[in-house]
């Protein structure tokens, strides 16, 4: 036999040897000692053990020692991790939504409480289903800011406010005769004849609703009980209204010079007064007929040119018994809008040292003015438009042309009763702004003193006041902590020889002040100062 063949044959272990070899290979030994263990096993069996079997076992054990996670194990672990993360995110999202819902509910509750508190400040007679919302919208923070209905926007949420008003008749003093024009609560006591004044108090229910992000609607309810301010033993005013007119009471006819009112009471009073904006008017109301329940009075508004100006007015009535005790009164709003606004008056202005033109005027006395506009001759658009100017009576033309003479005028606006849109009134006198105007002389001897947190400035009026003929100092400007346009702090009108002006409070902080004189054409003197205190 060839040597190679003999070697190949001798290296083939028997079945018993292979079993012993497997048992030895399965012994627990430190990782990395597989080769030494197999070598010892081969020597113990036969010094001629097969090299091929040892190598095969070595490769098999080394593969076992270096093995990791299978693909299935990795996929299972990843699935568990993803499911856990999704559950965590779901819990966090649900908690966030619940927190947002709670915040919205808290905001709605606070808003409902504001409404209920504001209701107590509304006059008792204006607590009606048709007027209470209008009254509340005049309260700061409760103005209607929603696109439709009565709503208030807080943050990014629109809260809708629904108000229900009804009259409660306390059954403890018996039922009373109920006027057809009044609305009693469903749980009031039964009607009767024992109670001369069944309007014991009013119940106002405020319901605030909003829509959650998930589409559901939330709501909170607050209730207020408003006691009747009148005495139960006194006669109550049941109704008061302009004769021949329906609510809302708007007078637009320019030929109307007087308005007749009809007033009714719960039982016959001794006297009836009527009031305009809370002030008793003369003569008092006169009884109409013999029952003592119907009364009449006349409000003389006079001609348009010289009479009562346009605007909203409160007309009310109160009735007294023989002992001078009055029951609940009643009031209504009457709106006069008989003409376009009058022209703004006392328009003044001129060029300033900052290169601008400033215009000012006296506010119109009408109560229905919604704003003003200032125009410059030759300009295609208003210098100060109604939308930005509103009720301010001071306008700045930031870039006037370099013409020697410029002309400005002012318009006042009200609302057209037919369309509800802004309506321009009569044009003011034209203000001519001239370029050749010398500034006035500067104030003299500016001093400052302090008393506590209040600071007082004193200076002398310049004499002569202005070098231009027929011109003089119109007012003074006070600047604080600088002399630029943004440092203007106050305007002060004083024709005394020694002028005094106070700044209160200053919170104990030191400031620097300058003072200038301004003439009738708004030319400004050099600034005197500073004084620091």
Residue 155 counted as domain residue: yes
Same domain, yes or no, for 428 and 454? no
Beta carbons of 396 and 360 less than 8 angstroms apart = no
Q: What are the structure tokens assigned to 366, written together? A: 């009408």
DSSP state, 102? H
CA nearest neighbour of 227 among 119, 110, 333, 115: 119
Same domain? For 429 and 489 the reply is no
The pair of structure tokens assigned to 291 is: 């029952």
Domain that holds residue 473: 444-532
Nearest C-alpha neighbor of 400 from the set 384, 411, 386: 384
Q: Helix, strand or coil for residue 88?
A: helix
DSSP per-residue codes, 414-483? EE-TTT-SEEEEEEPPPEEEES--PPPPPPEEEEEEEETTEEEEEEEPPSS--SSTT--EEEEEEEES-S
Q: Is 187 a member of any domain?
A: yes
Q: How many helices (H) and strands (E) does the chain have?
A: 7, 27
Phi, psi of 8 (to 5 degrees): -65, -35
CATH number of the domain within which 521 lies: 2.60.40.10
Structure tokens at 426: 């009569």
Task: Identify whether residues 457 and 478 lie together within a single domain.
Answer: yes
In a domain, 177, yes or no: yes
283 and 312 within one domain: yes
The answer to whether residues 460 and 499 touch, using CB atoms and an 8 Å cutoff, is: yes
Token pair 């009607």 is found at 191
CA 211 to chain centre: 20
For residue 260, being part of any structural domain is answered with: yes
- Domain total in the chain: 5
Are 359 and 324 contained in the same domain? no
Q: According to the 3-state scheme, what is the secondary structure of 244-275?
A: CCCCCEEECCCCCCEEEEEEEECCCCCEEEEE
The first and second tokens of residue 99, run together, are 């927190």
- Based on the domain organization, do 246 and 278 belong to the same domain? yes
Tokens describing residue 135: 């009254």
Run of H or E residues at 511: none
Q: Are 365 and 307 in contact (CB under 8 A)?
A: no
- Cα separation of 533 and 528, whole Å? 15
The reply to whether 469 and 398 lie within a common domain is: no
Distance linking the first and last C-alpha atoms of the chain: 126
How confident is the prediction along the chain (533 residues), in pLDDT tens digits per residue?
A: 444 444 344 445 566 556 655 555 554 444 445 455 545 555 554 444 445 554 555 555 555 555 567 888 888 888 888 888 888 877 776 666 667 778 888 888 999 999 999 988 888 777 888 888 888 988 888 988 776 789 888 877 889 999 999 888 877 767 766 666 578 888 787 777 666 667 778 899 999 998 877 678 889 999 998 887 765 668 989 999 999 999 899 999 999 999 999 999 989 999 999 999 989 999 999 999 999 999 999 999 999 999 999 999 999 999 998 878 888 888 999 999 999 999 999 899 999 888 899 999 999 999 999 999 999 999 999 999 999 999 999 999 999 999 999 999 999 999 999 999 999 999 999 999 988 888 999 999 999 998 877 889 999 999 999 999 888 999 999 999 999 888 989 989 999 999 999 987 777 788 999 999 999 888 899 999 999 98
520 domain residue, yes or no: yes
- What predicted TM-score, i.e. pTM, was given to this entire model? 0.56
Residues 24 and 17: their CA atoms lie apart, in Å, by 10
Same domain flag for 28 and 128: no
Q: Which residue has the tokens 């915040």?
A: 103
Out of 278, 304, 335, a domain closes at 335
Maximum C-alpha span of the chain: 157
Asked whether residue 408 is assigned to any structural domain, the reply reads: yes
Same domain, 115 and 206: yes
Cα–Cα distance list, 119 to 131, 163, 224, 375, 428 (Å):
12, 10, 8, 43, 42
The answer to whether residue 85 is domain-embedded is no
The last residue of a domain, from among 200, 227, 254 = 227
Whether residue 456 sits in one domain with residue 430: no
As to burial, measured by CB atoms within 10 angstroms (0-12 exposed, 13-18 middle, 19+ buried), residue 152 is buried
**Other CB atoms closer than 10 Å to residue 510's CB: what's the count?**
10
Cβ atoms within 10 Å of 2's Cβ, excluding its own: 7
Q: Are residues 131 and 187 located together in one domain of the fold?
A: yes
- Report the length, in residues, of the chain: 533
CA 225: distance to chain centroid?
27
In a domain, 352, yes or no: yes
Domain boundary residue, one of 187, 206, 227: 227
**Residues 146-192: tens digit of each pLDDT:** 767 898 888 778 899 999 998 888 777 677 666 665 788 887 877 77
User: CA torsion sign, 356 to 362 to 367 to 373?
Assistant: negative
Distance, in Å, from the CA atom of 149 to the CA atom of 45, rounded to the nearest integer, reads 101
- Are 208 and 256 part of one and the same domain? no
């Amino acid at each position: 036999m060839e040597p190679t063949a003999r070697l190949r044959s001798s290296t083939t272990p028997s079945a018993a040897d292979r079993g012993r070899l497997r048992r030895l290979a399965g012994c627990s030994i430190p990782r990395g000692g597989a080769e030494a263990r197999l070598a010892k096993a081969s020597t113990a069996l036969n010094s001629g053990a097969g090299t091929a079997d040892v190598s095969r076992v070595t490769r098999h054990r080394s593969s076992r020692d270096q093995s990791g996670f299978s693909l299935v194990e990795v996929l299972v672990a990843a699935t568990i991790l993803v499911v856990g993360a999704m559950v965590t995110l779901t819990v966090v999202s649900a908690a966030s939504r619940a927190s947002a819902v709670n915040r919205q509910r808290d905001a709605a509750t606070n808003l409902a409480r504001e409404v209920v508190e504001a209701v107590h400040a509304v006059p008792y007679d204006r607590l009606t289903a048709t007027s209470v919302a209008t009254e509340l919208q005049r309260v700061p923070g409760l103005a209607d800011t929603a696109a439709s209905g009565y709503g208030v926007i807080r943050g990014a949420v629109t809260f809708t406010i629904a108000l229900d008003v009804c009259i409660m008749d306390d059954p403890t003093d018996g039922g009373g005769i109920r006027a057809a024009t009044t609305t009693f609560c469903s749980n009031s006591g039964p009607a009767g004849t024992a109670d001369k004044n069944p309007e014991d108090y009013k119940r106002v229910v405020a319901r605030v609703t909003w829509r959650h992000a998930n589409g559901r609607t939330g709501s909170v309810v607050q209730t207020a009980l408003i006691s009747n301010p009148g005495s139960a033993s006194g006669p109550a005013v049941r109704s008061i209204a302009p004769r021949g007119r329906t609510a809302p009471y708007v007078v637009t006819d320019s030929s109307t010079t007087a308005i007749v009112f009809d007033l009714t009471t719960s039982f016959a009073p001794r006297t009836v007064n009527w009031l305009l904006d809370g002030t008793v008017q003369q003569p008092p109301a006169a009884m109409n007929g013999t029952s003592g329940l119907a009364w009449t009075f006349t409000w003389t508004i006079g001609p348009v040119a010289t009479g009562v100006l346009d605007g909203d007015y409160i007309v009310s009535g109160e009735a007294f018994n023989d002992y001078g005790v009055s029951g609940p009164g009643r009031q209504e709003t009457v709106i006069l809008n008989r003409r376009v606004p009058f022209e703004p008056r006392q328009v003044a202005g001129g060029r300033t040292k900052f290169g601008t033109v400033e215009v000012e005027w006296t506010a119109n006395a009408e109560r229905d003015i919604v704003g003003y506009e200032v125009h410059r001759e030759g300009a295609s658009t208003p210098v100060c438009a109604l939308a930005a100017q509103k009720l301010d009576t001071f306008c700045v033309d930031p870039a006037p042309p370099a013409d020697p003479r410029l002309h400005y005028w002012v318009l006042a606006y009200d609302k057209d009763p037919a369309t509800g849109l802004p309506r321009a009134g009569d044009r003011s006198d034209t203000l001519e702004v001239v370029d050749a105007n010398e500034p006035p002389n500067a104030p003299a001897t500016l001093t400052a003193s302090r008393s506590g947190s209040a600071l007082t400035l004193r200076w002398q009026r310049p004499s002569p006041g202005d070098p231009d003929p027929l011109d003089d100092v119109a007012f003074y400007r006070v600047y604080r902590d600088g002399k630029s346009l943004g440092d203007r702090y106050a305007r002060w009108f004083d024709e005394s020889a020694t002028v005094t002006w106070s700044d209160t409070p200053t919170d104990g902080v030191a400031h620097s002040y300058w003072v200038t004189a301004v003439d009738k054409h708004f030319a400004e003197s050099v600034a005197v100062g500073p004084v620091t205190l």
